[in-house]
Amino acid sequence: MRAKDIREKAGEEPITMLTAYDAPTAELVDAAGVDMILVGDSIGNLRLGYESTLPVTVDEIESATAAVARAAQDAMVLADMPFLSFGADEDEAVENCGRMLKEADADGVKLESGPHTVELTRRLTRIGVPVQAHLGLTPQRENETGLFRQGTDEEAARRIVDLAERHEDAGAFSLVLEHVPANVGAAVSEALDIPTIGIGAGPECDGQVLTVDEVIGLSEGVAPFSKAFGDVRGEMQDAISGYKDAVESGEFPAEEHSHYEEDVDDLY
Ligand code: KIV
């Protein structure tokens, strides 16, 4: 899948997107036919033990993106640009984003967006780096805005619609809308031709995205707008305890897990 295929799907069928941070998970997400795989900076709090997404580095996203891209056959792979990898120096931002395509084999990048990313989106798109914009709750700004629902009054909702239109005009191929009221999700989707991908933004978006850890039930609890469709955490806990108990009781390794060589019998 390429940016153009995602654009063409808008309004035809719901678009699916999930995060993945490693090759085995990406292989399963891809095999399920999910349209886009986001190597989210949520890797920070979900997989790397950070308290937020802020400490995630360009190297960490690049390495995870390369692993995901090696495993994905059909899905579009997007690298989520981490905090301060863009937004300060524009040439450096272009270089960081370009690295994701050149060195990690991503098909595009996602930028947590604002007024400061309009021109960057235009520049990246012009040189062939597909950009997915991200408005509403943008966790990289949590120190400024908190992790609250965005766009809850008329002025804030208007600002989101206006910024969404400016990013579309700058060439973004799609737009993630995070944690906004469903009627704001519907208004933005109505205002844009490019697909909107909602996360806690209601059913009127052109597609939906969640973190894979929440979907498979690996994370401890889920956000109120998310849903666990499995219990991988429970399965992992059972398997790990089962292993420990079997070693301690002498049940593992059993005869079939061991092999012997006659030639080495003379060692003693
Ligand atoms: O980092 C992430 O996982 C995200 C989304 C869930 C949209 O940005």
150 pLDDT above the threshold of 90: no
262 pLDDT above the threshold of 90: no
Residues with CB under 6 A from ligand 1: 19, 38, 40-42, 80, 176, 178, 199, 209, 211
CA dihedral 110, 142, 188, 29 (to 10 degrees): 40
The answer to whether 41 is annotated as binding is yes
How do strand 196-199 and strand 108-112 relate by DSSP bridges?
unpaired
268 pLDDT above the threshold of 80: no
User: If you measure from the C-alpha of residue 60 to the centroid of ligand 1, how many angstroms do you get, rounded to a whole number?
Assistant: 15
> Which atom of ligand 1 is nearest the CA belonging to 110?
8
State pLDDT tens for residues 93-115.
999 999 999 999 999 999 999 99
Q: What is the average per-residue pLDDT within 149-153?
A: 82
C-alpha to C-alpha distance for 103 and 79, rounded to whole angstroms: 12
Of the ranges 120-134, 144-158, 199-213, 221-235, which one carries the lowest mean pLDDT score? 144-158
From 178, 251, 255, 256, the catalytic residue: 178
How do strand 174-178 and strand 196-199 relate by DSSP bridges?
parallel
The answer to whether 62 is annotated as binding is no
Residue 222 burial class via C-beta count within 10 angstroms: exposed 0-12, middle 13-18, buried 19 and up = middle
Contacts of 76 (CB under 8 A, 6+ apart): 1, 2, 3, 5, 6, 35, 36, 37, 107, 108
What is the enclosing helix (H) or strand (E) of 258?
none
- To the query of whether residue 178 is one of the catalytic residues in this protein, the response is yes
Tokens of 138: 């943008």
* Eight-class DSSP state of 173: S
129 pLDDT above the threshold of 70: yes
265 pLDDT above the threshold of 80: no
Domain 3-210 matching CATH 3.20.20.60: the answer reads yes
